[in-house]
Structure formats: structure tokens, C-alpha cells
Amino acid sequence: MTQALRLGIAGLGTVGVGVVKIIRRHADLLQARTDRSVEIVAVSARDANKDRGVNLSDYAWETDPVALAKRDDIDVFVELIGGENGPAKASVEAALATGKDVVTANKALLAIHGQDLAEKAEAAGRVIRFEAAVAGGIPVIKSLTEGLAGNEITRVMGVMNGTCNYILTRMQSQELGYNALFEECAQLGYLEADPNLDVGGIDAAHKLALLSSIAFGTKPNFDGIQIEGIQQITLEDIHQAADMGYRIKLLGVAQRSARGLEQRMQPCLVPSSSPLGQLEGGTNMVVIEGDAVEQVVLRGPGAGEGPTASAVMGDVCDLARGLQIPTFGRPATSLQDAKPAVTGLPAPYYLRLALFDKPGALAKVAAILGDAGVSIDRMRQYGHTESTAPVLIVTHKTTRATLDVALNGLRETDVVADEPVALRIEEV
């Protein structure tokens, strides 16, 4: 019989406990599918005495995850600590240096240090697998590196933060404002310790950096992503988007053109009838477009004990089968530096303006937009407040650079009362 695949698991939070449960519950199934038993040898976490609802007495305990990573009696180091530096990075480096394969759910670590770690893994003849780092239980990494390997990928986009999608869909269905739903998410435990990682778009941008690298053969370039959160979205925006047949999503988009590689994580309008437009609650969705397959839509739970642990175990099973794939789908030394797009591809934009209720205000707005080269497709004016008149404008296709010229002009005029809101309308 083939020797057992021996795991060391660092991090016994929600996901780590989920992995332990799967291995204990499905030992026979895992062996049947891989022709090899999968065993936990040792674990590591900060508090050895905490009740985690699962029996850990069968496993050796290491207080230091680096010591766990260096153990001679493990084959695979499973890093579920989190964080781009600190013990997570040190322990992964130690595992690779001592000849271990690595399975991780740590998107921040790979988005920032992925190139260096991938090169270390390949130099040591080892692999790093990270299905659980992107979109929870959705097998998007496997789809890009394996199932769609025969395609030239043209665009990857998706909703990759369940908390943001929960907030935006609840704003529409429950008529609640952003602040109220932010507090609700905090009480439900949906937010990261630093909430800006979620609502500021950073968590989802980490994931986009990884997908973009695999899709386009570039080094992970988190710093090259344009990031904008959902904090400025109001109920007014939700209602007006719905009036026009759109819904607002925190959407990540990566696409390459003659302009360079465009990577964006920002609120966008998408058609209500599209798969992305119909996505509700905390569910994630990734859309992949390739020259042969055209469009593939992957939908599923983006977080949680079961879904994320399921993704970890998918990677563990591949290693048990002996499957060796470079970290980002091709040798790390062949990955190219991403050439950021100077300007993004043109698209229509949604603009929300609060105008002072004075004669000629709309004419001034139209003139400023026209002078900048921004053409108006549709314009609506809503009920007045005491001193301002909300105005909604949908433009024809334009670049963000051109729009920014117009927005600067609007800010300098005496008819715009508040900061203009501009959201891209994504064609899906």
C-alpha cells in the first residue's frame, strides 16, 4: 500500500477545524479517491486548551508553526493562519526549505509574496496549492490551471467578497442603508478584524491578483489593481440603478488588451438579468472568458467552514494523487512583469450629482461633460430637496481618464453641491 500522506495543519480557526472534520469523517472516501490514506500528524495554534468542538488529542501539538513546518514526519504543510507576513510567511518558507509541499488559504500572502514563494517552491521541487484562497468552495483555480488550459483567457471577473455582496443585496431587498448593514455584518461576525479589508475591496483585490496571474501569465501584481470600496454607495444609487435595469456589485475585473493589463476592484453596475446581477447574499461568482470556451460561470459559497475546508481538501487530494502543477499554472520563472494599462477600455458610466437648485445648473453640467468629450446617453432628475436637485446621468462609452477630466470640472463649478459619484457600467 502507498504510504499515507501526512499533514501538519497550522491554524485551527473555522477553516482548520473544518479540514480536521472532513479528514475524520471521510477517511475511507479520501483513500478510495486517491488510493492513499490522508492523515493528520501534528497541528499548531495559539491556544492548545481552547475547545474547538473536535477531538485533537490524536495529533502532536506545536506552539510554533515554523517548528511544525520543519517536522520530519509531515509531507504537506497546511497553512491556515492568515496574514501576508509574520508566522504565516515564515512557516511557509520553512516548509518549502525542508522539502514540504504547501496548501494554503492565504490570499494576502500570495498576492504580496506569491512570486518569491513560487520560485522558492520550484527551486525545491515542491508545489504551493491555494484553491481555498479564492472564492471559497468554487474550484476556480483548478478551472483556470487545468480545465481551461487550452484557452487564451480574455477576461476574468467576479464577485469575490460575500460580505460586500450581502450588504449590497440587503440594501435593495430590505431598504436598509449602508451604515445599518455594516453594523449588522459586524454583529453577525461577517467582517474581518480590519473591516476595510472587506468593504474597502482589499480582500477581493488579493483574490483578483491571483486569478489575473494565472489567466495572463504575469507575476502577481496587487499594487497594480485599482481598488475602490462600497462605502459611498447609497440607497439612492441602489434604487436608481434598479430603475435602469442594473444592480450594483463590488466587481473584480482583469483583462488584457493592447493598452496593457487592466485590473480593477470597484463597485460597478451590471445588468439585472445577468448571472452576476442575479447573485444574492454572501454567494460568490467568477466569470471566465476564453477564446475557445467563450464564457464559463462558476457560482458557489465564498467562505465558511465547509466550503473553504472543501477547497483545502481538493488540493490535498491532488497532492495525494501525485499531481504537480506550478503555483500559477506555469513555471514561476516564466511569468512576465504585468504591464499596467495606462487607460482602461472605454465603458459607459453612471453619474450621480446633487445640483444646487438654480437656473442653468443642468446646462453647466452638460457643457462641462461635453467639453471633456463625455457624451450623455440618458439623464434623469429626481425630486428636489430644500436646496438641491438629485440628477442621474448615464454616459456613452468613455475612458475613466476622460471622465476624470469632466469630474474635476464639475467639482470646480458652483452648481454641484456634493462629491460626484461615478460608477462604471460593466458589459457582461
Full DSSP string of 318-341: HHHTT----TTSS-GGGPBPP-B-
Distance CA 62, CA 68 (A): 6
Please, what is the end-to-end C-alpha distance for the chain in angstroms? Answer: 50
Q: Which DSSP string do the residues of 196-216 spell out, in sequence order?
A: HHHHTSHHHHHHHHHHHHHHH
DSSP structure string for 34-48? HTS-EEEEEEE-S-T
Nearest to 374 by CA among 350, 354, 397, 353: 397
CB atoms within 10 A of CB 342: 10
Among this protein's residues, is 89 annotated catalytic?
A: no
The backbone torsions φ and ψ at residue 77, rounded to the nearest 5 degrees and listed phi first, read -100, 120
Residue among 207, 219, 249, 358 flagged as catalytic: 207
In degrees and rounded to multiples of 5, residue 116 shows phi and psi of -65, -45
> What's the farthest any 2 CA atoms get from each other in the chain?
85
Q: What dihedral do alpha carbons 398, 400, 406, 409 form, nearest 10°?
A: 180
Nearest to 164 by CA among 276, 267, 304, 238: 267
∠ CA 382-386-391, rounded to 5° = 25
Which are the catalytic amino acids? 207
